[in-house]
Amino acid sequence: MRFKSLLILALPVSLAAYASPYADELGKCLVDATTKEDRTALVRWMFAAAAAHPAVAAIANVSPKVMEDANATTGALITRLLTESCKDQAKKALNYEGPLTLQLSFQVLGQVAATELFTSPQVKQAMSGLQKTVDKKKLEELKSQ
């Protein structure tokens, strides 16, 4: 089995298309077994990794040391979750449904962590500036068409 592939938390796959009882149970366990600090560390890792994309690299400067630390923290979190906190659920998911189930379960955890990020008052405040730039008149015209 390729554990490297387990680290892909933002797998572009529809959960509804691949949801299964074992993935659901593991996803619930992952969420229940993590603290707010764990989920914050996961969001930091996702952000740091995404910052490497050429489209955002110029506005999100993540040093190699920060990326290395985020990898180490998230690697330890994944290891703890799969081999301790949610070991039974992970074994069943892996044995009955394969590695994709583990990826889907971590996607659930990633979505919960991202939701916490976007519900932060500071993030909401930053995002509220978008309203000033949307042409409300053009949007209203959609109703009458």
Please state the pTM of the whole predicted model: 0.77
| pLDDT tens, position by position, 67-83 | 999 999 999 999 999 99
The pLDDT value recorded for residue 3 is 43
pLDDT in tens, 35-46: 999 999 999 999
Whether residue 13 has pLDDT greater than 60: no
Residue 19 has pLDDT above 90, yes or no: no
Res. 141: pLDDT tops 70: yes
Tell me the three state secondary structure of residue 62.
coil
Structure tokens at 144: 């009458």
The single-letter code of the amino acid at 142 is L
Query: Could you tell me which of 91, 86, 90, 49 has the C-alpha nearest to residue 66?
Result: 49
